[in-house]
Amino acid sequence: MAATDGASALSVSVEKYVTEIAAVGVKTSMIMITTTIMIIATRRKKNVTKIVESVAALSLKLSATTNKYVREAVL
């Protein structure tokens, strides 16, 4: 019983860290993309706010999808 509890605790711990690493990766990617878009939009005098809002919405979707697949892979 103790071995099962230990394995279960390890699985939860691994899932937690893998999910956090994936989330950080997604956030870092989205920050880089957002920054690039803002630079391009500013140089071309486009509406930066709408672009950033779109990228933020995409980031949330991407993060949720990544977390879902990471959980499925770990479990």
- For the chain, what are the domain ranges? 2-74
**pLDDT digit string (tens) for 12-70?**
677 777 777 777 777 777 777 777 777 777 777 767 777 777 777 777 777 777 767 66
Cβ pair 63, 23 in contact under 8 A: yes
* CB atoms near residue 46 (< 10 Å): 13
What is the pTM for the complete model shown?
A: 0.45
Q: Determine the Cα–Cα distance for residues 24 and 62; give it in Å rounded to an integer.
A: 12
**Are 74 and 18 in contact, with CB atoms under 8 Å apart?**
yes
C-alpha to C-alpha distance for 58 and 2, rounded to whole angstroms? 43
